[in-house]
Homo-oligomer: A and B are copies of this chain.
Amino acid sequence: MPKLGNVSLAVIKRMPRYYRFLGDLAQQGMERISSRELSNRMGLTASQIRQDLNCFGGFGQQGYGYNVHQLQQEIGQILGLNKRRKVIIIGVGNIGRSMAMYMTYEFPAFEIIGMFDRKESLAGQILLGQPVRPIRQLDEFCRETRPDIAALCLPTAAAPEIAAQLHELGVRGVLNFTQYDVGLNYPEMDVENIHLNDSFMTLCYKLNRER
């Protein structure tokens, strides 16, 4: 199984779900929960939950269970949500605009510090209180502001050139909405692919199978 550090990717991928679930429970006023009840609610086995959390040192207490708020905070720290990350959006078409809006209102760990587009006609337009910048300013902007993450919201055909440029500029994180395989070409970058089409196709498959 692929690993990141010494923890398997599968475990890491489950952490955001724990974080969300515990956040909901805390909001409902729940203070502590047994691993058994947590597992019932999440549709996992209690032993899986214990195993997952043990990858990071383990948090429960025999006979008490987990402190909901504390465990959520600790998982937030493991995920690094306590650090704000500087994000630039590249491409402000349908996807770019909606993602910029989504991040601004729904994901406080991301701070959008710049938005770029190839279309010179869009330059200067104000989105979410910030000007859209022409893509030719990308180099200078990155050298000055050192963004942590670039969200690639541009057409796939334009992605290889921009990815090479970002790599060169030392931008480490990529949210990749294009079909271009950034991770395959730049294994040292941290890439999350968001392929809506793949989810849509998987749903088509499920609907298509006989039951």
A197 touches which one: B42, B98, B107, B181 (CB < 8 A)? B107
A110 to B110, CA, bound (A): 31
- Contact residues on A (Cβ < 8 Å of other chain), bracket: 35 or more
* Residues A13 and B202 in contact, CB atoms below 8 Å apart: yes
Q: Is A145 in the interface zone, CB < 8 Å from B?
A: no
Copies in the assembly, this chain: 2
A16 touches which one: B43, B79, B173, B201 (CB < 8 A)? B201
Pick from A113-121, A135-143, A187-195 the stretch touching chain B: A187-195
A83, A102, A107 pick with most chain B CB within 10 angstroms = A102
* Residues A203 and B192 in contact, CB atoms below 8 Å apart: yes
Residues of B within 8 A of A195 (CB): 16-17, 20
A190 to B179, CA, bound (A): 25
Q: 8 Å CB contacts to B: which residues of A80-125?
A: 80-81, 83, 85, 94-95, 97-99, 101-103, 105-107, 109-110
Residues of B within 8 A of A149 (CB): 203, 207
Q: Is the interface of A mostly helix, strand, loop or mixed?
A: helix
* Residues B207 and A172 in contact, CB atoms below 8 Å apart: yes
A172 to B80, CA, bound (A): 37
Known: A181-B43, A206-B173. A106 touches B190 (CB 8 A): no
Known: A97-B98, A198-B17. A205 touches B79 (CB 8 A): yes
Besides A12-B205, A15-B202, A192-B202, 4 other A-B contacts (C-beta < 8 A) = A5-B209, A43-B181, A94-B102, A107-B197
